[in-house]
A and B are shown apart, each in its own frame.
Chain A
Amino acid sequence: MTILTHHHVLAAAMKWRTSNTEANRSAAITILKDGMTRFSDALALGEELVLLHKESGDLDIAISLLRTLERRFKQIGEETLCRWGSVLRLRANISLASNAIGAAEVDLKEAEEYYARAFEEFGTHYPRINELTTRFARAGLARLLNDESKSANLLRTVEADAESMLADARIWSRLKPHDNVWAPASRGEACLLLEWWDNAEAAYTEAIRASGAEEFPRISMAKQVRETLIPAFQRLGREIKQRLAKPNEFFLIPQVPPQ
């Protein structure tokens, strides 16, 4: 006998991840909103809804929902903290596109703090790699503002932390069900920050293989490289080399995914 829980709601909603169309996202939003009424104690439903609003480009709604979740839930988990980080980083990228560098700097700093808090509390690779990538983006921004010293300092800590992250067995032992995909993806990203191109490609290839037919992880990995890492490398006067220089090709994305 099956007892209906929020996991069933979540599983029904997460179908949008297999096929990321506007119609599927809209259906998922409806499912999640209904589910949050019935299972008001399930933070995971709210976290997924934040992700959907972010994917749909509704950042203000996503941020408002995150604030609501923080008020309602005394204890927020790794996912909520990382959602904060990712929404703020996306907002920073949008600000940068319109040259609003000050606003971007504020958002990136706050995003890094959310990721850092998640890593401190849960000790997993997912917030840690995002913390380092966000700091890397901040280093690029500092150089854009001609603050070479700050940029160099940030870069130094990114490199040191990325190396220690790769060497820290505890981080790689705290794995979750989908970490057959996300753990190698995080390793690939850490190697990319260190400009270890061959290792980065190998780890990302492992992640692509593990994701199988699922589109969502590949799109996410490509997006991270395309929208956050490549611009940061460029601001630092560097470039991503080898096959990862063309993330859509590398991650087998036939076209730019819908924004």
Chain B
Amino acid sequence: MPPLVLFSLVARRKLRQRSTQAAATCSTALNDAMNAIKDRLVQLFPDASIAIVQDVYVSYRVRPGEYILLVELSQAAARDGLYVVKLGDEDRLRREFDGWTACRPDGLRHDLVLTTLEAHRDKADRFIGLVYADADQIIGVDQTLSLEQAMLECIRFGVPTPESIADTLFLLYERLGLLLYRNSYTDDPLNPTLPFSPERLDRKLIENLDHLKPGSGPAFDMRANANTAADTTGLPDAMLPPNLFAMEVLDHPGDLVPRLRRGYGHGDLHGRNVLVGRIGDRVLWPAVFDYGDMGTDNLIGWDFVKLETEFKVRAYPELFEARVLPYAAEVIRTERDLHIKTEACRSANRWPNAPEDDTPLGRYRWLMLTIRRHAANHLGLYCGRSREWLAEYYFLLAIYGLNGIRFENLTEVQRLAGYLSAGVAAARYVYDRTPTGGDNP
């Protein structure tokens, strides 16, 4: 007998939100989505009596037909428990599973951070779903939430405590370092492993630059606001328009691409792909999922700059006032100060152990420095590049920050923050590559 599939109120509300647009042209959109999920879960868990969809996780880019669900199985013999389940397009599921298979450490059967992945196929060997097997570890605590939500609440209220977020980041990156990043190498642009191509930096780089091409519309407004804000701050040298920087990189890769660490990496590590448990005012036990971009020749730095950038574009609108130019000016100043502080930490080889001040901005700065502290370890210290890593980091921030322009689900000020982050990093990258700034060739 097939399992009875039920949806919690939370799950139904989130599914309704997701299907609102589709419901404008198809009144049964919500029911269709729920039925499609039911069919898949019946196929995935034929031995369970009851499958309850407890929650629907929302990533940054919503793809039609793709769902990441928290599913509780009941009366499923030895399989009773909670699972994170991914449903979606067969090719994407297959690619994710292939990435996981290629990167999965030999002998790994269970891990607290890198949740192991099971593929479920139908009789024709087509992928019907992926199950991240170890969600149980963080269930049963007071609350399960995304790392992004935990970090945003931390900067807003100071709870969860910044120290517990730092501990969580430590666990996350040390574990990923052990399981993935150790399998990496330094790719020298003067003697590259593969010939230079924009896609090896960012699959979407050309598309991003197309969106930023001269012309009118939102891209023009964003570029113009960034320029005006930089000029208004009186720090015009603090920002280099990142679209100009990226185009120059494409024209002169030999002059501008730094040495990059490549190897086994998650590829899509951001705060919504990491779940954490919460007990009182602390968070702990990070669990990573969504291996859609996992690969053996990824940029290791991507796992740091993506987490940083995706978080900061959501944090800045909460930190600074809403009027565009004063907001942008504050973002530029904050980014620049953060880079100067990072350079000081790199030089002293000492990183602050607590926020300098217990304010939202103070907590924000410290969390960013904490991410960079781990980048310093995994891109630098652990591979004998204690100075050079930062030039790579700035370079990747400058390239990654262009991605926001494509996403309509970001607000204008969020997109602007990503662009400014990229621009300030580009300016800093040029600065840091001077002979005294880094140990680049």
Contacts and interface: CB of A to CB of B under 8 A. Distances in A.
Interface residues of A, number: 25
Contacts of B227: 6, 41-44
B424 to A, nearest CB: 14
A19 interface: no
A1 B433 CA distance: 10
Interface stretch (A151-159, A172-180, A192-200, A203-211): A172-180
B220 A175 contact: no
A122 interface: yes
A121 B234 contact: no
Contacts of A179: 234
B399 to A, nearest CB: 14
A76 B236 contact: no
A1 B255 contact: yes
By secondary structure, the A interface counts as: loop
A44 B231 contact: yes
B326 interface: yes
Contact of B232 (A4, A40, A122, A177): A122
Nearest to A42: B227
B430 interface: yes
Interface string B210-228: 0000100000110111011
Contacts of B245: 3
B240 interface: yes
Given A40-B214, A41-B223, A7 B228 contact: no
B255 A75 contact: no
B220 A121 contact: no
Q: In this complex, which of B224, B237, B255, B430 has the most chain A Cβ atoms within 10 angstroms of its Cβ?
A: B224
B258 interface: no
A78 B221 CA distance: 17
A78 B240 contact: no
Chain B contact-residue range equals: 20 to 34
B256 A1 contact: yes
Nearest to A39: B227
B325 A77 contact: yes
A41 B224 CA distance: 5
B244 A73 contact: no
B252 interface: yes
B326 A43 contact: no
B323 interface: yes
Nearest to A174: B234
B231 A43 contact: yes
B228 A44 contact: yes
Interface in B315-342: 323-326
A180 to B, nearest CB: 12
B210 to A, nearest CB: 16
A74 B244 contact: no
Q: In this complex, which of B231, B256, B325 has the most chain A Cβ atoms within 10 angstroms of its Cβ?
A: B231
A77 B232 contact: yes
A75 B325 contact: yes
Contacts of A72: 224
A1 B229 CA distance: 24
B221 A74 contact: yes
A73 B221 CA distance: 7
A184 to B, nearest CB: 16
Contacts of A3: 240, 244-245, 248, 430
Contacts of B244: 3-5
A175 to B, nearest CB: 7
A175 B228 CA distance: 16
B241 interface: yes
Nearest to B426: A3
A167 B227 CA distance: 32
A177 B255 contact: no
Contacts of B225: 74-75
A79 interface: yes
Nearest to A176: B234
Q: In this complex, which of A73, A74, A121 has the most chain B Cβ atoms within 10 angstroms of its Cβ?
A: A74
Given A1-B252, A177-B234, 7 more contacts: A3-B240, A3-B248, A41-B223, A79-B232, A121-B323, A122-B325, A122-B326
11 contacts: A3-B240, A40-B214, A40-B220, A42-B224, A44-B228, A74-B224, A75-B221, A75-B324, A77-B325, A78-B232, A121-B323
